[in-house]
Amino acid sequence: MSGDDARHRIAQRAAQELRPGEVVNLGIGIPNLIPGFLGAETKVVLHTENGLLGVGPRPGEGELDPDMIDAAKQPITALPGAAYFDSASSFAMIRGGHVDVAVLGALEVSARGDIANWAVPGKDVLGVGGAMDLVVGARRVIVTMTATSSGRPKVVGDCTYPLTAAGAVDVIITELSVFRLLDGELHLTELLNGATIDDVNAVTTAPFAISLEERHAP
Amino acid sequence: MTTSAVSTAAEAVARIRSGDTVMVGGFGLVGAPLTLIDALVDESDATDLTIVSNNIGEPGRGLGKLLRQGRIRRGISSYFTSNPEAVAAVNAGEIEATLVPQGTFAEAIRAGGAGIGGFYTPVGAGTLLAEGKEERLIGGVRHVLEEPIRADVALVYAARADTLGNLWYRRTARNFNPLMATAATVTIAEAGEIVAVGELEPEAVVTPHLYVDYLVEKA
């Protein structure tokens, strides 16, 4: 599987975690591919922390509006029924538990659901944005990431990179599998794209229980 | 103050003195008061500034120009990374960086403008960004104490203002602007358009005019 192919498959699987009517905030990277896999019937409402509820598709040529960006600073449109608000209101929605789901990437996730996704020691500790607010505040936190980075496992026993938050993650989706944090323990609940348990074991240093669920592709 | 003086950008930014803390609205360059920033860059000698802004502009754009002039001593931001020159300046020890989670940044400015002495938030607890901060268990959850952020001068951008200084923002260009307008000793608003009193629907006013001291029309 090519890197791009893996990223699209992760986004496709993550899209299936979202339920009709949920308010969802999508992070930069793989999460930004998710709208391409949301059918119109999904009725997910997208929130962007720079101040819009009801994010629509990317604008076409001639529809560009300099006052319309998402938190990744990419151009967006707004759907009918959208609302704009200031940054304090936006993060009050997030911390106050009014945003149902945050989907975001990570550098590492630990066996206890700790997440590190904002800083690489000695390299970049100068940009946190809304990552800490989102993982603490959203009711459900879904991490989308490739299973390894340059061969280094990303689902680990303990995070070695600086933490974004402790015990915040609910679901991890990689190109190989779905993990869920259930009562603070990591469970392998689904194998993806023909992967085996051995395949997952080979790239996962976190201890995990095996609780495979029957699942029918939608 | 209840009456805003409509002035030129140069006159308005003359209120900024060396050593001041200056808040600047915008998410990246969207909603940033670029006419006021340019006036600060070109027409003011104030230096040794502390800048409170979500980003330090982009290379050579917005606050990135002020950075190139070496007039920023300290930045308080959630995302320095959007300007690699700001990251380089921090790493070279040329400016001091205070990194704040974006929601805490917004709320601290809101608190600063609302006369609140601080607040406890679960965001950042147990991370590098909470080091040295007072911590308390509230409902069994770790919270950190965050202090309010205020400034000597705020530079904000609104799409439309009336001559009293009532402000209306457009789409995602609102972001931090209404918060910053409340949290400085002197607030200077740049408006895309300045209309007569009575032309803004009172219900559409986001920033009531009592917060605004100077009005400048966008160049």
Say how far apart CA A142 and CA B109 lie, in whole Å: 30
pTM above 0.80, yes or no: yes
Active site residue A214: no
**Mean pLDDT of the region A19-39:** 94
Contact A91 B103 (CB under 8 A): yes
* Residues of A at the B interface, defined by Cβ within 8 angstroms: 48-52, 65-71, 73, 76, 78, 84-88, 90-92, 94-95, 119, 124-133, 136-137, 162-166
> What are the boundaries of each domain within chain A?
3-37+99-210
Active-site hit among A22, A41, A49, A213: A49
Both tokens assigned to B22: 């200056």
In CATH, A3-37+99-210 is 3.40.50.300: no
pLDDT at B132: 96
pLDDT at A90: 98
Domain B5-155 class, CATH top level: alpha beta
| Residue B174 contacts residue A68 (beta carbons within 8 Å) | no
**Mean pLDDT of the region B171-192:** 98
Report which DSSP code applies to A166.
S
pLDDT at A216: 58
Q: pLDDT category, B198, cuts 50, 70, 90?
A: very high
**Tens digits of residue pLDDT in A60-93:** 989 999 999 999 999 999 999 999 999 999 999 9
Minimal CA–CA distance to B176: which of B64, B36, B78? B78
Q: pLDDT category, B10, cuts 50, 70, 90?
A: very high
**Tens digits of residue pLDDT in A174-211:** 999 999 999 999 999 999 999 999 999 999 999 999 99
Torsion, CA A71, CA B217, CA B18, CA B49, rounded to 10: 0
User: By CB neighbour count within 10 A (0-12 exposed, 13-18 middle, 19+ buried), where does B170 fall?
Assistant: middle
* B27: nearest CA partner in chain A: A50
Buried b (16+ CB within 10 A) or exposed e, A100-119: bbbbbbbbbbbbbbbbbbbb
**Tens digits of residue pLDDT in B95-131:** 999 999 999 999 999 999 999 999 999 999 999 999 9
Say how far apart CA A174 and CA B219 lie, in whole Å: 49
> What are the boundaries of each domain within chain B?
5-155
